[in-house]
Structure 1
Amino acid sequence: MITSNEVKKMVSDEIAEYTRETGLLTGLIRRAGAKVFRKLENKDINVVLEYCEALLEERNWELGVVAYDWAYRVRKQYTEETFYIFERWLKEYVTGWGDCDDFCTHAFGELLIQYPVLFEKVEQWTKCSEFWVRRGAAVVLILPIRKQKYDFNPFVISDSLMLDSCDLVQKGYGWMLKIYSTVEKDKVIEYLNLNKSKMPRTAFRYALEKLDKEERNLLMGKI
């Protein structure tokens, strides 16, 4: 079987080949990672996630992109226990909003679709000291909401994060509310009306973006 060190070298070499003329573009990095993934003899989730961890341990942005992509590629093998691996990655290897969004809107979001009972564990992230984990509590809901495959109340998360002082967390739950408005517009409008006096303007304006002009103006008090 291919060793973790061999995988790291294969991925690094392939990324260098794909991005030699263009620079480190996310799409090309994923394409390079996909090419190496096809070469893996054993695609059992335990083996693949071990490779992913080895890539993440390098704390290198492009290797992280590949790791999160590979984690999504084995989504048909997810179990409820996969949550504990993903949560540990979120807390240990993610260090900014970009990695958070990449991981949470794909692999982690898919896990929540398959096991909505995990929402109760996601709620606990809103109390975490790291901003990207708190942001993740909102962003991880985006894929289930987009696919309309959820049975949780997204407002539970925005309520918990409402007065968060970090603008990246505010933008995160504002983004989630924006996506939710494409599925449950009336509920989101009612929620924004109820909370607009205390919701930070950053979150509020993000949440408005998918509403039509008249609805936005009403909520902003321009009509």
Structure 2
Amino acid sequence: MQYLNTNPAVEEIKEALTVLAAPEKAQFFPKFFKTGKGEYGEGDLFLGVKVPDQRLVAKDYYTRISLEELSLLIASEYHEHRLTALFILILKFEKSKNKAIQETIVKFYLNHLQYLNNWDLVDSGCYKILGRYCFENQREDLLRNLSYSENMWHKRMAVVGTMHHVKKGSFELTKEFVTQNLKHPHDLMHKANGWLLREMGQKNPKELIDYLNRHYREMPRTCLRYAIEKLDEGLRQDYLKGRI
């Protein structure tokens, strides 16, 4: 499919975000999202727009922009353009009750993974779009393919993408992906794994305890700390000090 090089809706969204940009945020965000040489967000560019403002722009435009047009925005070199495009995509998915349209949105999401290249871009949409779609349509293979990818962002999408499953009381996919990627070398995966285990524990404490008792000794410290954050202090210390 060929896309137009320019589009009024896309240009309006970019202009709206430029108006909302704050110089102090534009200076802070590159440090916060690790854009220095050799860091995980190397080379990313920021306008300096706060997330709540991006959500407002997305809410204003999501019915006025097509997927073809959205492809231009999500491919932008500016982080806020990509994140706003993702917020628009989430709204389109959540507001649609048509399975065919939802499937088209999921295909769009999967075809534009290369632009979801930082943790907020991954976490904001993967469970609201892909995770929900996989749960409702028994398409766990889509998440599983990402979990086996060599790309760290894809692996994080798979783990965080199971959040919808966890919220629905289904934990096996989360445990599968966390275990598969438990010893991944990057701290961002340790945090994601621990975060989803913690969420599982919030929903079903026994599931978390059973998983911890099998795996906590081999967990990276960051993963363990995230996973046990909501446990009572005595039990937390038992895990941290290896007394279980």
TM-score normalized with structure 1 length: 0.83
What CA distance in whole angstroms lies between the structure 1 residues aligned with 2:228 and 2:78? 35
Q: How does 1:44-55 map to 2 (within 5 A)?
A: 48-55=66-73
Aligned with 2:86 (options 68, 76, 82):
68
Tell me whether 1:133 sits opposite 2:154 in the alignment: yes
1:85, CA displacement in angstroms? 2.6
Of residues 14-23 and 62-71 in structure 1, the stretch that sits farther from structure 2 once superposed is 14-23
In the alignment, what sits opposite 1:119? Answer: 140
Judge conservation of contact 1:14–1:32 (CA < 8 Å) in 2: yes
In the alignment, what sits opposite 2:106? Answer: 83
1:80, CA displacement in angstroms? 4.2
Aligned with 1:174 (options 179, 184, 194):
194
What CA distance in whole angstroms lies between the structure 1 residues aligned with 2:69 and 2:171? 33
Number of paired residues?
A: 211
Consecutive unaligned residues in structure 1, runs of 5 or more:
41-46
Aligned with 2:117 (options 89, 95, 103):
95
1:88, CA displacement in angstroms? 2.4
Partner amino acid, structure 2, of 1:201: R
Partner amino acid, structure 2, of 1:70: I
Change (3 A) 1:165 1:86: same
Of residues 28-37 and 16-25 in structure 1, the stretch that sits farther from structure 2 once superposed is 16-25
Identity between Structure 1 and Structure 2 (%): 19
Judge conservation of contact 2:59–2:91 (CA < 8 Å) in 1: no
| Residue deviations 1:128-165 (CA, integer Å, cap 9, x gap) | 1211111111111123323x264753211111111111
Tell me whether 1:24 sits opposite 2:49 in the alignment: yes
Consecutive unaligned residues in structure 2, runs of 5 or more:
26-47
Of residues 166-175 and 149-158 in structure 1, the stretch that sits farther from structure 2 once superposed is 149-158
In the alignment, what sits opposite 2:58? Answer: 33
1:213, CA displacement in angstroms? 1.6
Change (3 A) 1:10 1:53: same
Partner amino acid, structure 2, of 1:51: E
The SS at the match of 2:217 is: coil
What CA distance in whole angstroms lies between the structure 1 residues aligned with 2:199 and 2:162? 9
The SS at the match of 1:98 is: helix
The SS at the match of 2:62 is: helix
In the alignment, what sits opposite 1:200? Answer: 220
Partner amino acid, structure 1, of 2:163: I
Of residues 188-197 and 119-128 in structure 1, the stretch that sits farther from structure 2 once superposed is 119-128
| Residue deviations 1:142-191 (CA, integer Å, cap 9, x gap) | 23323x26475321111111111111111111111111111121111111
Change (3 A) 1:81 1:175: same
Change (3 A) 1:149 1:14: farther
Change (3 A) 1:27 1:105: farther
What CA distance in whole angstroms lies between the structure 2 residues aligned with 1:151 and 1:160? 14
Partner amino acid, structure 2, of 1:88: N
Aligned with 2:179 (options 155, 159, 163):
159
Partner amino acid, structure 1, of 2:112: W
